[in-house]
Chain A
């Protein structure tokens, strides 16, 4: 398994009460797999994404990334591992408004690669997603679909093993959403896994596997639902 959670528990204190966001969740992603994580609001989808994205650590259980237990790493080490193995895509795209599309894509390599290398790679990625003529545009000059493609390009700049997407089609119309999901298929064809947290039925249609979270637990049974698209 590329990324795996083993018997993970995550609890929060909310208004003086302890809320269990994830309860004994075991979940794994194989290389090149497109997994959709679905479930109602508050079911723990985002918490799961934060844990496997190394942004958070579990209260109990283990998160393994490339067989490394995340909770044994320091914040700096987790950041490095995250930078090298995980790409993020957000519902609101979260592009830096003052940077051009190229600079936004190159941002994760700001402190690790030379300007020439990161710029070349950013332009190549943007061209790959049909934005070769938009490299010097700022986010405000791009449509929602174009912005999400810039965000996808950014998530791929470090050649991650897995791309984590939080409601990737949430702010897009259906046609643009389909285009974006088509891009996800291309990514998985290249061997990169995609885990998308979503409410969108369309995403589940494109996914290789759908995992349902209910009240912080995986599915009705502990097995993920195999979905035929």
Chain B
């Protein structure tokens, strides 16, 4: 006798496990059904979430930024220092980055090409560096965009000739994606002091949230434009919100597909438990005869169904996390990039697994508990 065994401490659980082990294949198939349902919910959820995060990485923080360009009715082609101050005042408390733009002749081994050149005082606020570093007090040296550096084979420390003047390459930028107000991928960035004129082709206003960006854009429009359109304001906050909404719907759709498979799995538990009720009629009769109340019988059968959910759910979670590492690795480059949403999917999927076990087991358990002991023992 082992007085501290599971059967002694948790007799109903122990009974349930042993009952399930009577028809191992059937129980295993039912649990696998639940596992597949949980995997479907969690993996599809994680897939949607990781896809969204990877897309948002590409889209970047564009929704938080507002682009201000010279409007049709501005008295000149570019903004002057005075107009820049006006925009800065209107945009407060948001911060802004003024951008100069020019085309210069770049000389390389293959000849000369016209090259877009930007003048930005602190480019590290807009772009990420993949090689080298942007000096703190940037007065000399240049920064080269990802695509240009790749095509021309440019690396940090190389010399680059622009309009006959030679610059040292201080840094090469990461690919900035396509959805950006200033695309540096195929451009060169110089310190603004390297431009002859203090005029600006565009201003980027930085905000912390898309909502704040919308408000800032509205303030700039009100301050700068009356009947004349002195500035054109481009804001992507609405677009960003729409994209977020789209992803939310996509995620719900994916999880919905997963939930359907869990409902199918639930039916298989219903089937297994109903068969079990029929097969164990005599046994139910004995339990009732030896003094088990209806609720006790219900408890035993419900525990069996919950155990199927628990086993299937646990297996599903393990497989889902493994699949999740694959998905994260594929979309985000980091297999362990689990965020709060991933954890919610795992916990939610697991709870759904146990829940569907319980719901599917409820009817057979109720049926077993209502069985007339005289009828049951007549078998």
Query: Which A residues are within 8 Å of any B CB, using their own CB?
Result: 50, 53, 55-56, 75-76, 79-80, 82-84, 88, 90, 92, 94, 96-99, 102-103, 107-108, 110-112, 115-116, 119, 123, 135-136, 154, 158
Contacts and interface: CB of A to CB of B under 8 A. Distances in A.
Interface of B: 1, 3, 7-9, 11-12, 15, 18-19, 21-22, 282-283, 285-294, 296, 373-374, 377
Contact of B296 (A111, A119, A158): A111
Given A50-B374, A110-B12, 19 more contacts: A55-B288, A55-B374, A55-B377, A83-B290, A83-B291, A88-B289, A88-B290, A90-B286, A90-B377, A96-B286, A97-B22, A98-B21, A99-B18, A107-B287, A108-B290, A108-B291, A110-B292, A110-B296, A158-B291
Contact of B9 (A107, A110, A115, A158): A115
Contact of B289 (A55, A75, A112): A55
A90 B337 CA distance: 62
A75 B294 contact: yes
Contacts of B374: 50, 55-56
Q: A-B pairs with the 5 shortest C-beta distances?
A: A83-B291, A115-B8, A98-B18, A108-B290, A94-B286
A107 B288 CA distance: 11
A55 B373 contact: yes
Given A55-B288, A94-B283, A115-B11, A76 B377 contact: no
A98 B19 contact: yes
30 contacts: A50-B374, A53-B289, A55-B289, A55-B377, A56-B374, A75-B293, A75-B294, A76-B293, A79-B291, A79-B293, A80-B291, A80-B293, A83-B291, A88-B289, A90-B286, A90-B377, A94-B285, A94-B377, A96-B283, A99-B15, A102-B1, A107-B287, A107-B290, A108-B290, A108-B291, A115-B3, A115-B7, A115-B9, A119-B1, A135-B1
Nearest to B21: A98
Contacts of A158: 291
Given A50-B374, A55-B374, A119 B3 contact: yes
Nearest to B376: A55
A171 to B, nearest CB: 14
B290 A154 contact: yes
Contact of B292 (A56, A79, A102): A79
A79 B291 CA distance: 5
A92 B22 contact: no
A55 B11 CA distance: 25
A135 B1 CA distance: 8
A75 B298 CA distance: 15
B288 A92 contact: no
Contact of B1 (A75, A96, A136): A136
A84 B293 CA distance: 13
Contacts of A55: 288-289, 373-374, 377
A216 B21 CA distance: 43
Contact of A82 (B8, B282, B291): B291
A119 B8 contact: yes
Nearest to A135: B1
